[in-house]
Amino acid sequence: MADVLSEIVLPEDLKKFEKIYHEQLYRNDVTPKAKFEYAWCLVRSKYPADIQKGIVLLEDLYRNDVEGQRDYLYYLAIGNARIKEYAKALGYVRSFLSIEPGNVQLISLKENITKKMQKEGQRGIFVAGGALLAVGALVGVGVALAKNK
């Protein structure tokens, strides 16, 4: 459940759209629809490698299929945010909003990305704090060992 940045595609769905895409790829006749559906599933995967792959497909679609560009921008933002490429994600959000400034869906995505960044920023501080403690402990052990000698 959760939200657009954390929901996970079901493996059987990913497989289903992957199969369609690969069949078309084999026939050398990939439709933007099949490519987009597969990419849309990939960027919702729990594996960063899948998300990366989805981003590559979406970038390609964005360059070559004018019709769906707003969709591609939106999912490029989501994909990048999910692998913590926040600057890129927000860049895509900005390009979208420069064309459709009042789009509620994008404004809410922007808020979600910012929130996620803040949350991880805090966690980053905790991790750094933990590392400092560990270093402190090591120094302590070192001092104790030195004294024993």
Residues at the interface with other proteins (CB under 8 A) = 1-4, 6-11, 13, 17, 33, 36-37, 40-41, 46, 68, 70-71, 74-75, 100, 102-105, 108
Q: Which residues fall within 8 angstroms of residue 75, CB to CB, at 6 or more apart?
A: 39, 40, 43, 54, 58
What's the closest the beta carbon of residue 9 comes to other proteins, in angstroms? 7
What's the closest the beta carbon of residue 105 comes to other proteins, in angstroms? 5
Kindly list the distances between the CA atom of residue 46 and the CA atoms of 14, 27, 51, in Å, as whole numbers in the listed order. 11, 29, 8
Pick 125 or 132: Cβ nearer other proteins: 125
Kindly list the distances between the CA atom of residue 78 and the CA atoms of 56, 137, 148, in Å, as whole numbers in the listed order. 13, 40, 56
Pick 46 or 138: Cβ nearer other proteins: 46
What's the closest the beta carbon of residue 53 comes to other proteins, in angstroms? 16
Kindly list the distances between the CA atom of residue 146 and the CA atoms of 127, 134, 138, in Å, as whole numbers in the listed order. 29, 18, 12
Pick 6 or 135: Cβ nearer other proteins: 6
What's the closest the beta carbon of residue 146 comes to other proteins, in angstroms? 42
Inter-residue contact 107 to 97 (CB < 8 Å): yes
Pick 85 or 116: Cβ nearer other proteins: 116
Distance of CA 124 to the CA centre of its chain: 18
